[in-house]
Amino acid sequence: MTIKEIKEDYKVETYDRGKTLILSHKTKNGIYAVSKFLVALNKVKPGVYEVQASKCPNSWKINHTSMATAKWAILKQLIGLRVKDYDFNSEFYNPMYREGYMEELAVRNHLTDRLDFKYLDSQWGIDAYEKTWPGVYGKGEYRMLLHINGLDLIGGFGGSKKTIKDKVSVSLSMRDGSWVEVKVDRKPEEIANTIDSLIRPEILVLAKNLLNYSHILNSVEINPTMKEPSGALDITEKNIKKEMIQQLEQTLKSLRGH
């Protein structure tokens, strides 16, 4: 087996004088990187390679997938098994990343991709995320603010060494300045489940309270106008009755589906 054969199917980067091969997709399909990382290969001897075990928290589940082979067809099967074996997107497991970065990427992707939170910033090792739900008029909204403390590297000031925390804190901010906090081990799946378990009760109770409150309100046909300041002393006006009806129809359709 030659590197030329491997390059026919994958983008290949070599490290350690050819002892380590980093395989990625040829297409530009990465989330945070240009191309999605797949696996790393160890060169056992000329023409013989094995799929490298991950240095990240979850290593091999299928023992036989670490076998060395000189046959490209077999190695391709082992690469496929390894990619299926990851708990999260293979891109996050690139061994060239610094220690702890895999967990950071996996949690960020869970929040921004699956839960549709917006990443705000990171200060002093604390990552801030925000999720908003617009109201029927498009301007009023409910806002949820979440902080993850301990995923990023901390320290590095005054010559001190940057360190990785074993525990991570997930906190949900309240409107009065207080917050609810849960501590969890630095394992991406546990952190993701903790996030879901922290915000789900808040959303369910809020939805129930708002729905119950809506039952005491009367409803008649109205003709609402959205007014917004635009410039010095100007105000723009727009009739939003059509948009309001569309929003309500979509909401009712969604509720029927549940």
pTM to 2 decimals? 0.78
Q: Determine, yes or no, domain membership for 220.
A: no
Please indicate, yes or no, whether residues 113 and 206 belong to a single structural domain of this protein: yes
What pLDDT sits at residue 160?
A: 52
pLDDT band (50, 70, 90) for residue 163: confident
Give the model confidence (pLDDT) of 52-90 as tens digits. 876 544 443 444 456 789 999 999 999 998 888 888 899
Half-sphere exposure of 197 (CA within 13 A, CB side): 11
Q: Determine, yes or no, domain membership for 219.
A: no
* Domain housing 205: 101-214
Backbone angles phi, psi at 34, to 5 degrees: -65, -50
62-84 burial code (b ≥16 CB/10 A, e <16): eeebeebbeebeebeebbebbbe
Q: Higher pLDDT residue, 1 or 93?
A: 93
Q: Give the total residue count for the chain.
A: 258
The span from the CA of 211 to the CA of 69, in Å, is: 62
Give the model confidence (pLDDT) of 93-152 as tens digits. 998 888 888 899 999 999 999 999 999 988 877 899 999 987 777 666 789 999 999 887
pLDDT band (50, 70, 90) for residue 204: very high
Please indicate, yes or no, whether residues 60 and 138 belong to a single structural domain of this protein: no
Q: Which of 93, 125, 157 is the last residue of a domain?
A: 93
Judge contact between 84 and 74, C-beta under 8 A: no
Give the model confidence (pLDDT) of 239-257 as tens digits. 777 777 777 777 777 767 6
* Residue 21 CB neighbour total at 10 angstroms: 21
132 forms bridges with which residues in the sheet? 143
Instruction: Tell me the percentage of the chain whose pLDDT exceeds 90.
Output: 43
Give the model confidence (pLDDT) of 35-57 as tens digits. 999 999 999 999 999 998 765 44
Own/partner pairs, 68-72, CB within 8 angstroms, 24+ separation: 68/42, 68/44, 69/1, 70/1, 71/1, 72/1, 72/5, 72/6
Please indicate, yes or no, whether residues 122 and 30 belong to a single structural domain of this protein: no
Judge contact between 144 and 130, C-beta under 8 A: yes
How far the first Cα of the chain sits from its last, in Å, is 55
Q: Which of 93, 128, 161 is the last residue of a domain?
A: 93
What pLDDT sits at residue 63?
A: 43
Judge contact between 48 and 69, C-beta under 8 A: yes
* Residue 146 CB neighbour total at 10 angstroms: 21
What pLDDT sits at residue 258?
A: 59
Please indicate, yes or no, whether residues 18 and 116 belong to a single structural domain of this protein: no
H helices within 129-240, ranges in order? 188-214
Please indicate, yes or no, whether residues 197 and 236 belong to a single structural domain of this protein: no
Judge contact between 91 and 28, C-beta under 8 A: no
Count of structural domains, the chain:
3
